[in-house]
Each structure stands twice: as C-alpha cells, then as structure tokens.
Structure 1
Amino acid sequence: MTPRDAAENSRWSDLDRPPLNSVALRRGLVREGGLWSRVDVVPSTGSTNSDLVARANAGEADEGAVLVAEAQTAARGRLDRRWTAPPRSGLFFSVLLRPAEVPMERWGWLPLLTGVAVATALSRTAGVDTALKWPNDLLVTVGAEERKAGGILAERAGADGVVIGVGLNVTLSADELPVPQAGSLLLAGAVNTDRDPLLRAVLRSLEEWYDRWRAASGDPAASGLQATYAAGCATLGRQVRAELPGDRVLRGEATAIDGDGRLVITTAGGEREAVGAGDIVHLRPE
C-alpha cells in the first residue's frame, strides 16, 4: 500500500465524518444491570446483521451485544434489497435480543418497537421529526417531500434470539444519495449530526422501550407500544397499495395497526384485511 493509499484509508481521512469513539460508547452504554452487554465497532463489514446472527448461532454473543460498522459492503433491507452509503455517513448497527419473558407470537413487534425507539431518540437528539412507514422504514421530510432515511431488519438467531439491524443516513449530501427518493438527517435540517450522541440516544431509547415491552410480557397495548407506533406512523390514514405474497395487490386506506402489529387496510368496498407481510406503497391523493 502506498502512503497515499494509506492516507485515503485512514480513519481520519474525512474530517467532516470522524470515526465513532468505541471507548466512549462502551463507557456510556455498558453498565451492570443494563441491557447492553458489549459494544463492538468495526471499520467495515459485509453486514452487521449477518455477523451478529453468526456470532449468536455459534454461542459467541450474549443478549445485549451491539455490533456497529463504520461501513457495510453487503447491507440488506427487507425483501433482500441492498443498502449502500459512504463510510461514516450514517449509523449501521445490529443488536441481539433474547426476549424469553415474551411469548414468541409477540416477537413480531420488535421491528416496530425499534422504529418507535429510533424515532423518539432522533426527535430529542437531532431535532428531526421522524415518521414511521409500516413496517420498518424511517422517514424524514426534505423540503416538502417525504423521504426514506433509514430502515430496520429483524432476523432470527437460533431458537431464542432476534437480531435487529438499523441503517440510518446521517450526513449524506444530495449528490451522495443512492436514489433521489432517499434522505438523511442532514438534508432534513438536523440540529445535531454527531453520530456518537445519536447512537447513544438511540440505544438508550431502545433499551427503555424493550424493558417496558418485556415488563408487559410483550403486550403492545399495555406497554403503550401499539398506541405510540400508531401515533407516529405515516402510513395510517393514507391510501396505499399493498404488494402481497403470491403477486396479489390490495388497494385501500391504511386504517389501523392491530394487536399483532399488522397493517389493517380498508378497501373502497368497506372490507378490512390485516396485512402481515408485503411491500406498502404510499399513494398520492388523486
């Protein structure tokens, strides 16, 4: 490697995007009696979700393990979509949860819980109103346009674990966006784009919501999760097109989030259907 190559690959090569301070993150998050048991920051990896699932399956990760990457080369979203962003331009991390106190049929709420936690933290720390698109997209407003700034992916890890991955665009500029419909905290006018306090705030918010949900045995109503998610969900009240498994398409108004975390769509004929999987498109008013 030439000196020039080494300089370009240095963790300090982009002074506008300083590296995360792993020591400070551990000091601020890992505490006795708390959820977070370990925080690792790596310069680059294919996918933090894949890595943490592998660690969990190999018995090398406890609940509360957090894996953060400054860059990901093979990040995935729902439906195996690819997620790309320049190094240190966002928050790319995964956490391992083992909600033994919660019946497994309620684990489907974990991605929605994570969305609520992230949106709550960003509102307080970055001053950005983050809306939730069912089931796992994080939306910000750039100008007058609603854009996706992040996403959440949940994967099973062994018989008793779930790995939740979060990808969030923080400092992407307009000319760095992978698609014109994407957004970032910077473009949304965030008052704070320092990734260290943002990540600490998100993980503390996630711990708070996870503890509340577990204490209620995963009951989304008793924990306040169902109502809070509905209040922040940009999908509700909108006309949507649901592209469902089996090439089926359902159109109607998104009217509710049911007790299983499914999106309830009411068709023009008044029929209601709860959708648990599929791709949701927000339709423009006609």
Structure 2
Amino acid sequence: MTPRDAADENPSGEHSGEPSDKNDKPSGSRWSNLDRPPLNAAALRRGLVREGGLWSEVDVVQRTGSTNSDLVARAGAGKAAEGAVLVAEEQTAGRGRLDRRWTAPPRSGLFFSVLLRPSEVPVARWGWLPLLTGVAVATGLARAAGVDTALKWPNDLLVTVAGEERKAGGILVERAGDDAVVVGVGINVTLRQDELPVPQAGSLALAGAVSMDRDPLLRAVLRSLEDWYGRWRAAEGDPVASGLQETYAAGCATLGRVVRAELPGGRSVVGEAVAVDADGRLVLATEKGVQEPVGAGDIVHLRSA
C-alpha cells in the first residue's frame, strides 16, 4: 500500500479471501509476479505463534477490503482472541486516519492488523498505542531492512529518498468494543517510483533497504511490537517507566520542527513542536508564547526550527 495520505490498513470481512501459504497456487496472473512472491503463512505461524507469547494466530488472505475492518468485525463477533494477526496480500479499501484511502499493488507491501486487549492499562493511556506501534515498526525495520525510519506524529512512518522525507507507511488504531483495540499497519516495501500514488510517498526499496523479503520483515516488526507492548503493559501504560516516551521522542521527526496543526472544527495552530507529553499529545510552542497540547489533528511539517 502506498500512503495516499494517511496510513494504515484494515479489512472488511465480506471481501476477505482464503488464507494462503507460499506453496499455494492462486489463480490469476496478478499472483504470478515472481518479483513479489507471496507470504509464507505457515512459516509465519511457526515463527510467531508460541506458548506464552502474544501472537495467538496468524491469518494471511490474498485480497480483502481492509484488515482493520475485518478484525474489528471478528472481535465483535467473538471470533478473535488477543494477539490475532490478519495480513492481506492486497487491500481494496485500505484506510488511514480520517477515512483517507491507501492504495498499493498486490504483494508490494505489508498490510496487517492485530487485536490487542490491554486490560492492565487504564483507558486514558491507550492513546499511546499509535506511538508505541510506530516505535516498534521503526525498530523492527531498522533491524531487518537496514532502513532508518523516522516517526511523524502521530501515526506516519517516514523514510529518506534522495535526501527527501517521504511517507512509506502509517498506523491506524480503532476501538473494538469496550476492552479491545485493533492496530493496523501499512508499509510500502517494493513500490517503484512509477507506482507511487503521490510524489510524497516512498517505500523501503526507494530508501535503499538491504532486504525486501516480506516474511522476515513482518516477523521482525511483529516481534518488536510484542516486545514494546509487553513493556508498556507491564508498566500499566506508564510511558516513562516503560521507556516509551523517551524512545518515541528520540525517533520523532516532528519534534524540533515548526509545524501547522490542523485541528477538528477547522481551527489550525502554528508553532514549534517541543515535546510529546505524558498523554502522548504533541506540545506546540506558539508565537504567542503559549504551549498548546494537540491530541488529534493533521500535522504539516513546515520547516526546521
């Protein structure tokens, strides 16, 4: 998927395909591109699902609307436990924040959602989940792909292509009832320049990744997410005790920049992004000498401070 605007993915159950393993031979020329081999679902399960671990099941479908929508529906029907992972080779209705569309050629990226039930964490701290996921994804990609991924508050993944920051992925978190959330992630892996939906988009390939094999990339990202989620949950969501606040700030490309926050209701605020507070909000120092926390909205990077 390519971030047309915002980032992340999710599916819709009525469009979901059948689970596929690498040895499956799906019909249709769309699945015969040897440059973009299918994910090996059986190997992913063997590598990720283990007793005492977070990941309880890993399903790979060839095509769906949105993995988030599908997993929210499964959770609502009582058909998904915590740690369920749903991966799509292609999404036809992938969504980012504010219901923006996310498009990409089949098997060109990693498009997946996970179900989490952070019962030990006060709901007031659940706002850290998009930031936690960003840290986990960036950490996993650095290890497995050799790509330095920066984070744009609150949910975008940035890579550098020819000296320019570009969006290569994003995160979407949605509630799934009172006690669960679905976290969706979309990452452009092998997209070429001529496949990008907008010039501002990027991919791991364009950023010079040393590996674009999606199987180990997905395993690395999910293992990193399991690690960070475990630390955060053990600390009852405390961003300081878990190390999340410090780590996020270190990798956040928004901090230290002059930005424009486009807020709900049509209001906008311009200021220097000076901190991420204990609630995960971006703190802007405005020209009026006021520090204003922003909890929701679009952030536009204007220039370095």
**Shared fold, TM over 0.5:** yes
The residue type paired with residue 21 of structure 1 is N
2:130 is the counterpart of 1:90: no
Partner of 1:148: 167
- Written as runs of structure 1 = structure 2, the 5 A alignment for 1:263-282 is 263-282=282-301
- Written as runs of structure 1 = structure 2, the 5 A alignment for 1:1-286 is 6-9=27-30, 11=31, 13-284=32-303
Q: How far did 1:268 drift?
A: 1.6
Q: Deviations over 1:162-211 (max 9, x none)?
A: 00000000000000001000000000000000000000000000000000
Give structure 1 regions of 4+ aligned residues with deviation exceeding 4 angstroms. none
Q: Which runs of 5+ in 2 are unaligned?
A: 1-25
TM-score where L is the length of structure 1: 0.96
SS at match of 1:92: strand
The residue type paired with residue 42 of structure 1 is V
| Range moving further from structure 2, 37-46 or 266-275 | 266-275
The residue type paired with residue 294 of structure 2 is V
Alignment identity in percent? 80
Cα distance change of structure 1 residues 6 and 41 upon mapping to structure 2, 3 Å threshold: closer
Alpha-carbon separation, structure 1, partners of 2:269 and 2:178: 33
Query: Does the aligned pair in 1 maintain the 2:113–2:185 contact within 8 Å?
Result: yes
Task: Please report the RMSD computed on the Cα atoms of aligned residues, expressed in angstroms.
Answer: 1.1
Alpha-carbon separation, structure 2, partners of 1:7 and 1:22: 19
Alpha-carbon separation, structure 1, partners of 2:237 and 2:268: 31
Alpha-carbon separation, structure 1, partners of 2:72 and 2:261: 29
Q: How far did 1:284 drift?
A: 3.0
Alpha-carbon separation, structure 2, partners of 1:74 and 1:245: 24
Q: How far did 1:285 drift?
A: 5.2
Q: Which runs of 5+ in 1 are unaligned?
A: none
Q: How far did 1:7 drift?
A: 4.4
SS at match of 1:189: coil
TM-score where L is the length of structure 2: 0.90
| Number of aligned residues | 280
Alpha-carbon separation, structure 1, partners of 2:27 and 2:177: 40
Alpha-carbon separation, structure 1, partners of 2:41 and 2:295: 37
The residue type paired with residue 228 of structure 1 is T
Q: How far did 1:269 drift?
A: 2.3
The residue type paired with residue 141 of structure 1 is T
Higher RCO, Cα 8 Å, sep 6+: 2
SS at match of 2:131: helix
